[in-house]
Amino acid sequence: MGMDTTLPPADSLSPAADQPGALAFFGSPEAELFTRECAESLAGVLRENLILRRTAEGYPPGFTRASVPPRPWWDTMWTRDAGTFVRELVAWGYLEHACLVSHCLIQSVARNEQGYYAFPEKLRPGEPEAGDEIDGTAAIVIGMILLWRHLPAHHPFRAPLRAFLHGPSSPVRYLEHQAKQQGLIAGTGEFGPGCSVDGYYCSCVQNNLANLALRAAAGLEEETGNPRIAAGYRETAAALERKMQATMLYPDGSWMWGVRPDTHQPDQKILDEPVNRGTGLHNGVASMYADVLGLDPVAAQWPLAGPCQKTFERLYQAPLRRAQFDRYGFWPQWDPPFRGGLSSGPSYGEGYALQTMLLYDRLDLADKSLLWLARATYDAPPQPAYQLERSSRYHFYERTYSPDALGKVELEEGCGALNLVNVTEPLKVARLLLGVDPNAPDEVRIVPRLPQCIARIEARRWPLLTDRGVVRADLKIERGPTGGITFTCATEDGAVIPKLVIRHRQDGANLTETFTHVTRLTSSLGPA
């Protein structure tokens, strides 16, 4: 086993006991399409990617395939994808499933030469491995801390999960050590030097995700009576943010891909790699804010909000991307010449862009993007031009293409339908529309966003994190004819929400209401 703390047996965890929440959107055919796409894609991953019982080939419970067999990487568990999967399982109320996946991750990681648990790019069943996949390590830390917060105090997995995140060999200590030693953190993989590029690089996305993981861990340490450790993590995270701003910005204030580990100067060869230059992955800095710090970066005066907004605008104004988006709502993941600038996907291309649009209240753009995503998922490019194999037209798939791509670029399936991260990021989009912040235990914070194509959102038995534990509630958010919203909440079994705050943005102003001791309420924000 990869961890020097006793874990409960995997078969003591009970995925069948989960009673997850459900989310539905109304107001247009695309809203209802997106509802079904999210529901069927999540169900598909739980059925086809997630291993529930040890297999004859040695796959352990909790192992989650990156793709459905026999597509690329079907026999591996990618750590960044797994971290986002844990995040979404928790936020949607699949706590036992999240425990099983986290259990597998803890058993599958080894200590590196420095003595820390650090995850590789991908895992295979067998001996535990270590690596330098910073975004994978950080995403897993964030997902596990979210899980720890949501688990009941008596749950048998809570103590070993805390031990893994807190101990002297923990992945959090590794991130802290690397940041202190290097000033910035160098990593490998798609979010390091770039997809299929070897070596190490300090990228803006990896370093920000490490920053967020340290801040999440600071909250965990503070909640468990370790203010000194919490302060140290926050200090290291703040230093990372300052160093990113000092070294990783173009003259226009937007993010460059990153800098060399040895000099903290740009490496033009890395910046000019087709997979890095003008890539939508840059929006990962903006979109990942929601994984830890809340759903309102501008109102919170996040120091990195300005560079994120300028980066989004730079990407949006790239000539081909702007033309494609204005014409179709299609957001190319790359600038030409990579895949002709006519390829994208619901994770790092359209997914990160749409999440950024929502977090920064660009609802006019979010409306076009959501309409495209819903339609493109259901109506993939036609056969035989695109050989996309999937058991349901409602399954998200890895590579979307502009209608203009037909006959111009090769339409490759890649990892295809139910590629894990291409399901988890649209699920996050759905949550951002509802606007429940799963990281605010001192109060329930709800920041809904309703683009024009969505007139009403309904959530059933949705998990709300309070300082007394998880309370489940039915929620309804409905837009009125003049742009205001009506919010309805009814808790399960009369459970009490000690404090609930809802924010709605209208005509450039934030409208906020605070309620206490909530079991049932109906409230309107903005003109009816």
Average pLDDT of the chain, as a whole number? 96
Buried b (16+ CB within 10 A) or exposed e, 386-395: bebebeeebb
DSSP string, 414-427: TT-BT-THHHHHHH
pLDDT at 5 > cutoff 60: no
pLDDT band at 127 (very low <50, low <70, confident <90, very high): confident
Q: Tokens at residue 241, please?
A: 């943010």
pLDDT of residue 6: 80
The SS3 assignment for 5 reads coil
For residue 204, the surrounding DSSP H or E stretch is helix 204-223
Query: What stretches of 128-276 adopt beta strand conformation (E)?
Result: 202-203, 258-259
In this predicted model, what pLDDT tens digit does every residue of 198-217 receive, in sequence order? 999 999 999 999 999 999 99
**Residues in contact with 122: Cβ distance below 8 Å, sequence separation at least 6, in sequence order:** 66, 73, 76, 77, 78, 79
The single residue listed with the structure tokens 């929502």 is 358
CA nearest neighbour of 468 among 502, 521, 517, 434:
517
pLDDT band at 11 (very low <50, low <70, confident <90, very high): confident
pLDDT at 331 > cutoff 90: yes
Q: Tokens at residue 474, please?
A: 């039915």
* Cα distance between residue 194 and residue 421, in whole Å: 17
- Number of Cβ within 10 Å of residue 425's Cβ equals 25
pLDDT of residue 126: 85
* Cα distance between residue 300 and residue 295, in whole Å: 9
pLDDT at 222 > cutoff 50: yes
pLDDT band at 408 (very low <50, low <70, confident <90, very high): very high
In this predicted model, what pLDDT tens digit does every residue of 257-302 receive, in sequence order? 999 999 999 999 999 999 999 999 999 999 999 999 999 999 999 9
CB 321 within 8 A of CB 342: no
Angle between the 363-378 and 421-434 helix axes, to the nearest 10 degrees? Answer: 140
In this predicted model, what pLDDT tens digit does every residue of 93-118 receive, in sequence order? 999 999 999 999 999 999 999 999 99
pTM score, whole prediction:
0.97
**Residues in contact with 158: Cβ distance below 8 Å, sequence separation at least 6, in sequence order:** 148, 151, 152
The single residue listed with the structure tokens 């966003």 is 449
pLDDT of residue 1: 41
- Number of Cβ within 10 Å of residue 427's Cβ equals 26
* Cα distance between residue 384 and residue 393, in whole Å: 16
Q: Tokens at residue 184, please?
A: 């910035």
pLDDT at 528 > cutoff 70: no
pLDDT of residue 507: 84
* Cα distance between residue 498 and residue 517, in whole Å: 5
* Cα distance between residue 330 and residue 324, in whole Å: 6
pLDDT at 3 > cutoff 80: no
In this predicted model, what pLDDT tens digit does every residue of 469-514 receive, in sequence order? 999 999 999 999 998 999 999 999 999 999 999 999 988 899 999 9
In this predicted model, what pLDDT tens digit does every residue of 426-481 receive, in sequence order? 999 999 999 999 998 789 999 999 999 999 999 999 999 999 899 999 999 999 99
DSSP string, 77-92: EEHHHHHHHHHHHHHH
Q: Tokens at residue 285, please?
A: 């800095």
* Cα distance between residue 69 and residue 66, in whole Å: 9
Q: Is 3 exposed, middle or buried (0-12, 13-18, 19+ CB in 10 A)?
A: buried
pLDDT at 353 > cutoff 70: yes
pLDDT of residue 55: 93
The single residue listed with the structure tokens 């409306």 is 367
The residues pairing with 64 across neighbouring beta strands, listed in sequence order, are 50
CA nearest neighbour of 487 among 508, 503, 510:
503
For the chain, what is the radius of gyration of the CA atoms? 22
Residue type, 364: D
Percent helix / strand / coil, the chain, rounded to 5 = 40, 15, 40
The domains of the chain are located at 295-432, 444-525
CB 158 within 8 A of CB 151: yes
pLDDT at 21 > cutoff 70: yes
* Cα distance between residue 370 and residue 477, in whole Å: 18
CA nearest neighbour of 217 among 289, 166, 272:
166
